[in-house]
Amino acid sequence: MIDDSIRQHPSDAFIEAVRARFPTEHEVDTVLTRKMRRRNGPSFQAVALDTLVDGTERLITNQVGYPVRIADARWLSGGASKLQMLFNLQWRGENADGQAQVVTPMVLRMEPAASVTESSRRREFEVIRAVEGTVPVPRAYWMDPDAQFLPYPAMVYGFATGTAKPSHDAGKVTGLGQNYGPDLRAKLAPQFIDYLARIHNLPIGTPPVLASFDRPEVGSNASVIRQVNAARRIWEEDRIEEEPVMAVVYKWLIRNAHPIDHISIVHADYRSGNFLFDEAKGEITAWLDWEGAVLGDRHQDLTYAALPIFQHYAEDGETILVSGMMPEAELYAAYEKASGLPVDPARIRYFGVFNRYLVSVLLLAASTRAARGASTHQDVLLNHVAGMGYLALSDLLSFFRSATA
Amino acid sequence: MNQDFETQLQVIQRALGEVVLPALGNADKHVIEQLHLSLAAIGFMQQRLPLARRYYRGTLQRYLTMANAVCARLQAKACGLEDLSAKGQATLDDPSASDADFRAAIAALRAMIAVLVETSQDTPHESALDALVMEHCEAILSEDRSWCIPLGFELRPEDLPKPDWQP
């Protein structure tokens, strides 16, 4: 058994042993290793807005090749993992016209010292560029993946208009159990399905497109096992307490990983609360939070959207709506029709277990550890959502028992 | 002074909720959200602090029950678990044991049981051990979920069985 203090102050030997034991994608390995090395440094210090303005100006100036100015900088709330600053960029615009004076609203998105979802700005940038034009996303402009200009890795987006929460139900934390209401739901649900189908049917291309992603092979389950290992590795690095259930489920996930039958871009956090919409028109204006995206199996997104923590009861008090949209069976049927891709019940069961395992890791390990280590600007929020951990683990246990009966 | 922690937490809640929060007016959304979450954390402590010792003792008792069942199943192969189980029982029986002692005993049992699950892979007793662990964990997690009800994540908290630490 390992003393918990080794996780809060990891030795090089501990870091290397965990890396060797749970091999995963190259970029994921880089990000998780960086997280562990940071843990021996100072806890997160609040960053002044002026510091971000200065770093962002230098980043953009370096990228466009002429001096730019940032005005009207202010904090942007929303989300549980990243620091965000909204600002107006005074520059020459997309076409770099020497005479133009353009003002463009933009968002800086920067990691804190630790996060509920430790992720790569490089991958986030690449995947947004890849899906642009297929689904509505904020324009990805520039990135600082190795924190050359800013205190932590960051990227700059165009500002996307819309709201994440309907005005009648704005109190939910990060959109969990979001209830859009019957009128808005009727307009949003078909778009929710259509955009997922488009993402999954988009060809993944060849590097340099999505260059930071390891390429899965059709007919092989190696990429699925790498993903399971990434979650298991976070459990090993971050957990506060061991949970015997997690040990049982990990063995099953490795043994039962399905070969990939079609390679898709998988958003990996596709759910209510992760898109912006125009409330008056009932139109989705932007899909957000691409940081966990992978190349893999579409069933991962389908079962994630259907997780209980994103469900609520419909107005009849009986019908369960997944991601605030529709009953689970209807979601899968509508997706098959929209995408032309089959929904395989065996893979639905597998990824239903996988996503519940992952959520349990993120709540009971990553969130809890980040809050305990005073590692973020939102420790109180991460500590709060960690309180969902036992609910998530209980759901994992009962789903696992039914899936393996 | 007010010796009970509930009162200490209550005065903080009232000050933050009835004086500070309304005064924030047009503050950034994330500032308001962090204050709401801070109030939720204080509210959780206020409800659970008086019950903490009973909850930890109950959890340790349930892990001891699971550990004894695992030892009975594995017999000589449950290396180390019998000793941990005996130490955990001694902690439970010790009137001077602190909450931290209970939590340390629970953590040790959880970790050892997880190691046994892991090392049982591809052995003849693997599936029986896994099934036994899942069965015992189900009851434990039901109690843990009840513990977290004040945080507001349960869709239907009234459906959970009444925990034995609840008066």
pLDDT digits (tens, 9 = 90+) for A176-208: 678 999 999 999 999 999 999 999 999 999 888
Mean pLDDT value across residues A110-125 = 85
Asked if A276 and A101 touch (Cβ cutoff 8 Å), the reply is no
Asked if A131 and A202 touch (Cβ cutoff 8 Å), the reply is yes
- C-alpha A348/C-alpha A343 separation (Å) is 7
Q: What is the pLDDT of residues A221-271, one digit of tens each?
A: 999 999 999 999 999 999 999 999 999 999 999 999 999 999 999 999 999
Average pLDDT along chain B: 92
- A167 versus A45: the higher-pLDDT residue is A167
Nearest alpha carbon to residue A80 among A175, A214, A171, A14: A175
Structure confidence at residue A2 (pLDDT) = 53
Q: How far is B111 from chain A (nearest CA, A)?
A: 5
Mean pLDDT value across residues A381-385 = 90
Partners of A387 on chain B (C-beta within 8 Å) are 44, 148, 151, 153
Partners of A383 on chain B (C-beta within 8 Å) are 37, 41
Structure confidence at residue A78 (pLDDT) = 62
* pLDDT beyond 60 at B151: yes
Q: How far is B55 from chain A (nearest CA, A)?
A: 15
- C-alpha B112/C-alpha B86 separation (Å) is 13
Q: Which two tokens stand for residue A76?
A: 């942007």
Nearest alpha carbon to residue A300 among A273, A324, A270: A270
Are residues A391 and B153, on separate chains, in Cβ contact within 8 Å? yes
Q: What is the pLDDT of residues B84-120, one digit of tens each?
A: 999 999 999 999 999 999 999 999 999 999 999 999 9
Q: What are phi and psi of B43, to 5 degrees?
A: -60, -40
* Percent of chain A whose predicted confidence (pLDDT) is above 90: 79
Contacts of A281 (CB under 8 A, 6+ apart): A187
* pLDDT beyond 60 at A38: yes
Structure confidence at residue B79 (pLDDT) = 73
Q: Kindly state the helix (H) or strand (E) to which residue A87 belongs, with its residue range.
A: strand A83-91
ipTM of the shown complex: 0.94
Helix ranges restricted to H, chain B:
5-14, 21-24, 29-48, 52-74, 81-93, 99-119, 126-147
Nearest alpha carbon to residue A132 among A199, A218, A192, A33: A199
Domain ranges of chain B: 5-50, 52-149
CB atoms within 10 A of CB A84: 18
Amino acid occupying residue A170: A
Is A273 in CB contact (< 8 Å) with chain B? no
Partners of B112 on chain A (C-beta within 8 Å) are 1
Structure confidence at residue A76 (pLDDT) = 83
Q: Which two tokens stand for residue A281?
A: 């028109």
For the CA atoms of chain A, what is the radius of gyration?
21
Report chain B's terminal Cα–Cα distance, integer Å: 27
Amino acid occupying residue A207: P
Q: What is the pLDDT of residues A51-81, one digit of tens each?
A: 999 999 999 999 999 999 999 999 887 666 6
Asked if A371 and A382 touch (Cβ cutoff 8 Å), the reply is yes
Q: What is the pLDDT of residues A267-326, one digit of tens each?
A: 999 999 999 999 999 999 999 999 999 999 999 999 999 998 888 899 999 999 999 999
Task: Classify burial at A336, counting beta carbons within 10 Å of its beta carbon; exposed 0-12, middle 13-18, buried 19 or more.
Answer: middle
Are residues A77 and B108, on separate chains, in Cβ contact within 8 Å? no
Q: Give contacts of A 306-335 with B, CB under 8 A.
A: 308-309, 311-313
Identify which of B34, B112, B144 has the shortest CB distance to residue A380.
B34
Average pLDDT along chain A: 93
Structure confidence at residue B28 (pLDDT) = 81
Q: Give contacts of A 51-80 with B, CB under 8 A.
A: 74-75, 77-78
Asked if A272 and A312 touch (Cβ cutoff 8 Å), the reply is no
A67 prior amide bond cis, ω within 30? no
DSSP string covering A16-79, please? HHHHHHS---HHHHHHHHHHHHHTTSPPP-PPPHHHHHHHHHHHHHHHHSS--EEEEEEE----
What domains sit in chain A, N to C, each tagged with a CATH number?
Answer: 5-41+222-257+342-403 (no CATH), 42-159 (3.30.200.20)
- B25 versus A390: the higher-pLDDT residue is A390
Q: Which two tokens stand for residue B85?
A: 């189980």
Asked if A8 and A39 touch (Cβ cutoff 8 Å), the reply is yes
Q: How far is B145 from chain A (nearest CA, A)?
A: 6
Mean pLDDT value across residues A341-345 = 98
- Residue B24 CA neighbour count, 13 Å, CB half: 16
Structure confidence at residue A168 (pLDDT) = 78
Structure confidence at residue A220 (pLDDT) = 98
Q: What are phi and psi of A326, to 5 degrees?
A: -165, 165
Structure confidence at residue A96 (pLDDT) = 74
**Chain B residues with a Cβ under 8 Å from any Cβ in chain A:** 28-30, 33-34, 37-38, 40-41, 44, 106-108, 110-115, 117-118, 121, 130, 133-134, 137-138, 141-142, 144-145, 147-148, 151, 153-155
Residue A85 banded pLDDT, cuts 50, 70, 90: very high
- C-alpha A6/C-alpha A17 separation (Å) is 12
Residue B1 banded pLDDT, cuts 50, 70, 90: confident
